[in-house]
A = this chain, B = another copy of it.
């Protein structure tokens, strides 16, 4: 068994609260209460709020890499793997309807605050972007793979945003279905040039 350090607990609690409530709206007392720490002790682990944010982003980057690696192993074909990505919208539907996409909403908030960590948070997008790009290359798209990656990323962001505003499950299902159809249509023709 892995002993969960206090630091880890703080990062996980902060991660959750930042996602559910937002970075600005989350206070130290808020996080400390979840972990069961006094506010004073908090500063032993993190000196400033920005330090916690950096730790949370690093934690999310690490979790995301692990998830992408898992999809790499599970999916038989690149197309299957991309479907894993699209399906997050279904898997996390309830959370997305309540709090939006964790990546998109964090990037938006940090952009507004013009926060030093805004580009660091965007690395989360880059992780997905590069992974998707590689899948499209593996399908056979020697050119345009990155454009395809951005397109599918864009769609998932759009669906998440409207899912939060309208909380319409049928809409989410429909758009996921449409994304999968689009994906199928992107298979390069097997006929020779």
Contact = CB atoms under 8 A, between A and B. Distances in A.
A7 interface: no
Given A104-B161, A155-B154, A109 B147 contact: no
A112 B158 contact: no
Interface stretch (A19-27, A40-48, A184-192): A19-27
A29 interface: no
Contacts of A147: 174
A112 B155 contact: no
Q: Range of interface residues on chain A?
A: 35 or more
A164 interface: yes
Contact of A162 (B99, B112, B157): B157
B155 A125 contact: no
Interface of A: 20-22, 24-25, 98-101, 104-105, 107-109, 111-113, 121-122, 125, 147, 150-151, 153-159, 161-162, 164-166, 171, 174-175, 178
Given A125-B162, A151-B175, A158-B161, 18 more contacts: A21-B112, A22-B112, A25-B113, A107-B161, A108-B108, A108-B161, A108-B164, A121-B165, A122-B165, A147-B174, A150-B171, A154-B155, A154-B161, A154-B175, A155-B158, A157-B162, A158-B158, A161-B161
The 6 A-B residue pairs with the shortest CB-CB distance, nearest first, are A158-B158, A154-B158, A157-B161, A157-B158, A107-B165, A122-B165
